[in-house]
Structure 1
Amino acid sequence: MAQTLSRLFLSSLLLLLLSPLSLAIRTHVTKPSKSSALLNFQKSQAQKLIKSFNLSPKHDINTGNGHHAVDESPVGGPMMVEKPLRLNVLGDPGNNSIQDLGHHAGYYRLPDTVDARMFYFLFESRNNKSEDPVVIWLTGGPGCGSELALFYENGPFHIANNLSLLWNDFGWDQASNLIYVDQPTGTGFSYSSSANDTRHDEIGISNDLYNFLQGFFKLHPEYVNNDFYITGESYAGHYIPAFASRVHQGNKANEGIFINLKGFAIGNGLTDPEIQYPAYPDYALDMNLIQQSDYDNIESELVPPCKQAAPLCGTNGSATCIEAYMACTPIFNEIMNIAGNINYYDIRKQCVGQLCYNFSNMEKLLNEQSVRDALGVGDIEYVSCSSTVYEAMTMDWMRNLEVGIPALLEDGIKMLVYAGEYDLICNWIGNSNWVNAMAWSGQKGFTAASNVSFVVDGAEKGVMKSYGPLTFLKVHDAGHLVPMDQPKAALEMLRRWTQGSL
């Protein structure tokens, strides 16, 4: 088993939207020569993984390429600069003409940074922008741009093979005013020329997002009274609770514009690693990825070291978080070693060679000069996923972000945790386990609540249970990317949840 573990660490399978990167932290290594070797290993493995999604960013992090953005926000100028977004979209947008729809793109100059600019999209509701909620979406990684969700999951349009844009009948702008942000700094079109602006933890990230919201609602006071919701998936299971807590804290302290936070939703997220990592063998056995003998070996040899190390990381992060990461990663790696070439985001599928998903049209589209001109980014090149941002956040990986959630629930802020049933990496069992284990005043009521069907158009699309402000939903026939796999059900989930009828 020792030889197996050694081999597994050297051949770790890296994941894009959420990937356990073995031996990733140079601070864990004392000898400079080994540190350099591990850094090179990180880079090569991250690049290999990005290629498995047919992505090929030219840069490890977005530095702004000389600040040649058409509408960037200069120091001393306005904090937020936004322009109407004019893109050619084929087909009928529904009950509206394209001229009636408010599509915007812009940059926000982040305060308390050297040079950081956050890029964002705003798509006004196709239904009723004055009444529908404002919903912000955070993509995971850490280090992947929001455009992955925009074009392949729940945005207003999809990309055709010829790079034309087609209306998405199930875009979340059908039920909300929808914001996408490229974050942390250095991902997507967000940039800084200074390495000092690279974020390493949830404090920096949540402060940046809170400041962005202050700028957004200052520029768009017409949305201040609308309900506000935070959503996202994968590593955003870390971002979202920290961000929600930061908004709630700002509201209580009267720091700035009051943000009408009503709830937050985590899709197939990593939130409490201490509970979620030991759930891997349970899910793998339940889905016939491993046999009972494999399960017994993993439970006896790999799970105990993880359970011992993970609590030592806690919420603050230190060298113990690296040790916890290295103790827990072999659980997943051993399952993948047994299961073979499955797509760990959707175990119904096989990866063909290195290719598990093909998101290359996104990069092609966003690098077209006419599109970059429409976005106002000028010469700034798109970084689909930043390996540098990923590495910077590795110390954050094993931290428990569940700890701040009970206080939000006690104050009546709603939480929805949903998970596609065929996702391995952030599987529904691990998510259900941490939600049920969370200590709050409604814990007993939630655990005792009955499961009910989530029905869309007369068909069961999932199973859920709710108590008070908390809802957990297992989505049928979906993997890690629920809005991509079940677009109509995902839109209906959002609509009902924000309207209080889920």
Structure 2
Amino acid sequence: MASPLSILSLFLSFLLFTSSLSLTTKPSFPLRKTGHQLIRDLNLHPNPEVNFFNTHTTSFDDNFKVSESKIFEKRLKFDVHGEPGATVNDLAHHAGYYHLQHTVDARMFYFFFESRKAKADPVVIWLTGGPGCSSELALFYENGPFKITNNMSLVWNDYGWDKVSNMLYVDQPTGTGFSYSSSGEDTRHDETGVSNDLYNFLQAFFMAHPDYVNNDFYITGESYAGHYIPSFASRINQGNKNREGIHINLKGFAIGNGLTDPGIQYQAYTDYALANNLISESDYNQISQRIPNCEQATKRCGTTGTDTCQSALYVCQQIFEDILSITNNINYYDIRKKCEGNLCYDFSRVETFLGQSSIKTALGIPKNIDYVSCSDGVYEAMMNDWMRNLEVGIPELLEANVKLLVYAGEYDLICNWLGNSRWVHAMSWSGQKDFVAALNASFLVDGKEAGIIKNHGPLTFIKVHNAGHMVPMDQPRASLQMLELWMTEKLNPLRKGKVARL
């Protein structure tokens, strides 16, 4: 769940940024400093200014310009080592830009990878969190078609999600990754702006790729994408009902180790920490005294928004900070590990790889655009969005039989499985009583239990064994099977307490 700048929705997809803050209303400078440090702890390099610039001082190749409301993309031919394991003869890989509607000058960057199995497979979009972290982090370290080696070459990922789906990876909001604008007015501050941009992008994408219009469509992502995903799903549902444009065949949405209902998830920190022996019972009793103030502050955020939401973050974040102060440099994305040498993980290869001029040229990136793994500026712009409850729009989608999969690695602290399980169980919808009463079952991969699953109707929850914040990175085979079984309606528990496996 949440610490200010999560990267990685990888990171809350990823980060949820931490800060050792007091309960003041606006300690913005300490928060920014901590956000920078967290990104550096992942061996990334934040730059709040990059990707917003004056076009009059920037030269562009005319071939890379994007027409208003249209897609421009390049077909890619990467040199990838190994065999893709594909049944199609000519895999289509694209990178492109979409000139966002209702903006001054914003361009959204994306990758599109055709399924290695069949073009008729579902279209799946992946959103990394942060807010402000690039989806290329997931592409190259989690579930993309290939991974980056030490010598900056590419190798096929045996468990890439493109083995069962046509994958879209999007850099959003504007200012993230390779997405850019010449105007600060294009900065997004809430889920309305984010989801409208994504919806408009999808309309343009399907217009440019009509062969995929009738395919099933799924939204996936991690971490702070627990905010993006429900809002985006609701926006698609609204657009379909209002017949605003191309009908998008939305079948479901999946949230991995996400931050969705902060009011519930922050309160789960102490229980999770105690159950995993991260804190003592006396620590638990002391830190838990902060929970009532956190609960009240979160409620004020939910009714009034604006500065009350920042206040709620600072109040509730202290719960997380108190736990970290006791845990002796623990890796809060995977409590089995320490943040040795101030590097919980090393994601520097992606910045090196995408920073090469030859790669940027191949992708169609303007010369003066730098790759930004995680944008501190985008993160700060979304501060008032952090503590808002995004569960509120989900029941309507469930009633429309749009499937929801919530999964969480059991060793993640920051967006832990306990907090995610609690908000899923507390959600009010017509199937709530039956979901709560449903029995846990085993999720099997290769005959072994890879997780615990609970399901009723369109709602499924999975606690994934031996995984931290990034389930597709820690358990690639299990995550691929989870996705395929879920999309093909085979993930439901059987009578014997097992789950059908491939």
In the alignment, does 2:297 pair up with 1:306?
A: no
1:198-347 → structure 2 map (5 Å cutoff): 198-299=187-288, 301-314=289-302, 317-347=305-335
Question: d(CA) in 2 for partners of 1:24 and 1:103?
Answer: 45
Q: How far apart are 1:185 and its partner, in Å?
A: 0.3
Structure 1, residues 326-362: CA drift from partner, whole Å, max 9, x if none?
2211110111111120000000010112211101110
Structure 1 residue 122 and structure 2 residue 112: aligned?
yes
Aligned to 2:340, the other structure's residue is in SS state: coil
Q: How far apart, in 1, do the equivalents of 2:124 and 2:304 lie? A: 29
CA contact (8 A) 2:230 2:394 kept: yes
SS state of the match for residue 374, structure 1? helix
Matched-pair identity in %: 63
Contact kept, 8 Å, 2:122 with 2:216, in 1: the verdict is yes
RMSD (Å), alpha carbons: 1.9
Give the partner amino acid of 1:123: F
SS in 1 for 2:245: coil
User: What amino acid does structure 2 have at the position aligned with 1:485?
Assistant: D
Q: Once the 2 structures are TM-superposed, how far is the Cα of residue 75 of structure 1 from its aligned partner?
A: 4.6
Alignment map for 1:53-452 (pairs within 5 Å): 53-58=42-47, 60-63=49-52, 66=58, 68=60, 71-75=63-67, 79-96=70-87, 100-129=90-119, 131-299=120-288, 301-314=289-302, 317-379=305-367, 380-452=369-441
Structure 2, unpaired ranges of 5+:
8-13, 492-502
Alignment of 1:14-33 (within 5 A): 15-16=6-7, 17-22=14-19, 28-29=25-26
Which digits, 9 at most, give the CA deviation of each residue in 1:50-93, with x for residues without a partner?
111111245544126726366434455x6110110121111111
- Quickly say closer, same or farther: Cα 1:95–1:206, change in 2 above 3 A: closer
Q: Which runs of 5+ in 1 are unaligned?
A: 1-11, 30-37
**Matches of 1:195 and 1:302 in 2, distance apart?**
37
In the aligned structure 2, how far is the partner of 1:441 from the partner of 1:235? 27
Q: Which amino acid aligns with 1:340?
A: N
Per-residue CA deviation, residues 348-393 of structure 1 (Å, 9 max, x unaligned), is 0101122111011100000111111110103121111100000000
Which residue number in structure 2 is paired with residue 489 of structure 1?
A: 478
Measured in 2, the distance between the counterparts of 1:57 and 1:305 equals: 32
TM-score if structure 2 supplies the norm length?
A: 0.92
Q: Is the 8 A contact 2:425 2:436 kept in 1?
A: yes
Supply the distance in 1 between the matched residues of 2:453 and 2:18 (Cα, whole angstroms): 32
Deviations 1:91-133 (A, max 9, x none): 1111357x6110000000000000000000000000011x210
Shift of 1:277: 0.3
Q: How many residue pairs end up in the alignment?
A: 478
2-structure distance, mates of 1:40, 1:334: 20
Shift of residue 39 of structure 1? 4.5
- Judged with a 3 Å threshold, the aligned counterparts in structure 2 of structure 1 residues 399 and 59 are, in CA distance, closer, same or farther, namely closer
Structure 1 CA distance, aligned partners of 2:419 and 2:189?
Answer: 25
Following superposition, the deviation at residue 134 of structure 1 comes to 0.2
C-alpha separation in 2, matches of 1:14 and 1:83: 32
Asked whether the equivalents of residues 60 and 383 of structure 1 are also in contact (C-alpha less than 8 Å), the reply is no
Asked if the contact 1:24–1:391 (Cα under 8 Å) also holds between the matched residues in 2, the reply is no
| Separation of aligned partners in 2, 1:396 and 1:24 | 19
User: What code does the residue aligned with 1:463 have?
Assistant: I
C-alpha distance in 1, partners of 2:64/2:190? 26
Q: Distance in 2 between matches of 1:57 and 1:292?
A: 38
Once the two structures are overlaid, the 10-residue window that deviates more, 43-52 or 214-223, is 43-52
Kept in 2, the 8 Å contact 1:420–1:478? The answer is yes
CA distance in 2, matches of 1:242, 1:202: 6
Q: Which position in structure 2 is the counterpart of 1:33?
A: none
